[in-house]
């Protein structure tokens, strides 16, 4: 069984930038967490911790599927 190394907000922010090119500050991640639109997180007392796999899932939803043209992106956006 693999042990997950959870990331604090600062580490999660750095992870998102390095792995996915998404610039999200720790403060912005806190805001997203308070309104329920950010990545899933865990609480250890008052500390917020992120599972890297859950950050990957959230980033993939945010980035969306690939398309070969701007029209392809617009068509997918309108279909959703």
Q: Can you give the residue ranges of every domain in the chain?
A: 9-79
For residue range 12-22, what is the model confidence (pLDDT) as tens digits? Answer: 999 999 999 99
For residue range 34-50, what is the model confidence (pLDDT) as tens digits? Answer: 999 999 999 999 999 99
**pTM value > 0.85:** no
SS3 at position 60: helix
Q: Residue 9: which pLDDT band, with cuts at 50, 70 and 90?
A: very high
- How many Cα atoms are found within 13 Å in the side-chain-facing hemisphere of 40? 8
């Amino acid at each position: 069984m693999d042990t997950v190394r959870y990331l604090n907000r600062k580490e999660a922010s750095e992870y998102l930038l390095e792995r996915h090119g998404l610039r999200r500050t720790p403060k912005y991640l806190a805001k997203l967490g308070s309104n329920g639109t950010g990545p899933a997180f865990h609480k250890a007392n008052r500390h917020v911790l992120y599972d890297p796999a859950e950050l990957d899932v959230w980033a993939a939803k945010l980035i969306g599927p690939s398309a070969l043209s701007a029209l392809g992106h617009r068509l997918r956006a309108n279909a959703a």
